[in-house]
Amino acid sequence: MADKAPDGNLMKLPVSKLTLGMFVSAIDSNAKGKVAIANAGQIRSQDTIAKLTKNGIQFVWVDVERSSGDCGLKTSVAADPGQHEKAQKAVGSRDARQNHAKKILGEAKGLIRKVLSETFEGKAIEVAPFEALADNMIESIMLDDDAFKCVSALRDKDAYLLEHSVNVAFLLVTFGKHLKLDRDMLKQMAVGGILHDIGKIRVDNKVLHKPGKLTPEEFEHMKLHQVFAIDVMAETKGLSQVSKDVCLMHHEKLDGRGYPKGLKGDEIPLHGRMSCIVDIFDALTATRCYKEAMSPAAAFKILLSLTPFHLDTELVYEFIRCVGVYPVGSLVELSDGRVGIVWEAKDRDALHPIVKCFYSIKHRHYTDVAFVDLRKSELNIERGVSPSSLDVDPKPFY
């Protein structure tokens, strides 16, 4: 009764077999075959099914993944392992790696949440759990740094400080790995990254959560997070100098106009310079309640505008090479107007990743999910797209 499309998630069904909750993404026309429809979506009432029949439509294409769990479709697909396997093949191993990275991300958040509250209660930080976490992060990145970058694109707007701390740590390890730093160094940098904004827990919430630009007075107060951090670092036993530097130097500038110490040039070591770059990059590409996420390409432009007075020019170029023009997890528009997520970039040049397409900007509706390998396709990347500029939510497709 049902055919499976070669691209996995779509199943051809007679209209008579439709039930509530199934996600109809296209109709089947005798003359033209599969035709995408503008009002694709889940069936919410019997009226919709009646309307399809009345319009003479006999078959439709149903998206199994986006259909609701209780419509019976998912069970019937799962019951046929051959079909299921075919549908999942393209994404299977990637999912496993991504799940691994998601798990570590979850652990990281739990740990940071705990330490933030403990520090708030005046307890000293215990270093050992952070080192264990840093080890896990490194493991995950060694295994597949694309997987984490993809997870990192899924930001949680509410727990910004947590997200940011974890992202900075992961970015530092990714960047450090790119620069071929040794494992012990990566570990110390990861610990520093996790703790880099620890001083913010003593910043007034009104200033910390203020949407938009801070007044000069508020900015002075915000800068205090690094003075508070000096205290926290001094109280924390067993923390390496590298970890402390990453925390205390991420707002220093090469020309000596940074804070808290106004260090200059060579006084800021490599890991300190790296922390400045990844901190700004992550802040720019995050979605906050008051601003859209900036595309990585636009963020790179800003990073370059901050050289050589604030940031180290050569290191910024290395960072761009490391993250890529269109990093995994970022959204891009292809030359045919489809939008997709950069899905796999390992062992490829930056302009030819595999892109998971799910939406058409031209037609303003979802399309069949399709993996486009730009090495084998005539298509190319037209531009990077910021998630908040789309009128649909890309999250379900990650």
Q: Which residues bind Fe ion (CB under 5 A)?
A: 197
Cα atoms in the Cβ-side hemisphere of radius 13 Å centred on 84: 9
**197 versus 252: smaller Cβ distance to Fe ion:** 197
From edge to edge, which strands make up the β-sheet containing 3-4?
Answer: 3-4, 10-14, 59-63, 23-29, 33-42
- What are 60's strand-pairing partners? 13, 27
**201 versus 354: smaller Cβ distance to Fe ion:** 201
**Minimum distance from CB of 355 to Fe ion (Å)?**
34
- What are 340's strand-pairing partners? 332, 357
**232 versus 341: smaller Cβ distance to Fe ion:** 232
**Minimum distance from CB of 317 to Fe ion (Å)?**
23
- Count CB atoms within 10 A of the CB of residue 141: 23
**Minimum distance from CB of 197 to Fe ion (Å)?**
5
**Minimum distance from CB of 220 to Fe ion (Å)?**
14
Closest CA to 191 of 245, 113, 148, 130: 130
Q: Which two tokens stand for residue 343?
A: 């899905």
Report how far residue 181's alpha carbon sits from residue 179's, in angstroms, rounded to the nearest whole number: 6
**142 versus 227: smaller Cβ distance to Fe ion:** 227
Q: State the DSSP string of 257-319.
A: --SSS---GGGS-HHHHHHHHHHHHHHHHS-BTTBPPPPHHHHHHHHHHTTTTTS-HHHHHHH
Report how far residue 297's alpha carbon sits from residue 255's, in angstroms, rounded to the nearest whole number: 25
Phi/psi at 88 (5° precision): -95, -15
Q: Which two tokens stand for residue 49?
A: 């099914």
Cα atoms in the Cβ-side hemisphere of radius 13 Å centred on 272: 21
**299 versus 331: smaller Cβ distance to Fe ion:** 299
**170 versus 366: smaller Cβ distance to Fe ion:** 170
* Segment holding 165, helix H or strand E: helix 160-178
**Minimum distance from CB of 222 to Fe ion (Å)?**
8
**197 versus 245: smaller Cβ distance to Fe ion:** 197
**Minimum distance from CB of 163 to Fe ion (Å)?**
14
**20 versus 283: smaller Cβ distance to Fe ion:** 283
**Minimum distance from CB of 246 to Fe ion (Å)?**
11
Report how far residue 62's alpha carbon sits from residue 60's, in angstroms, rounded to the nearest whole number: 6
**Minimum distance from CB of 157 to Fe ion (Å)?**
19
**131 versus 197: smaller Cβ distance to Fe ion:** 197
**Minimum distance from CB of 362 to Fe ion (Å)?**
41
Residue nearest Fe ion, Cβ-based: 197
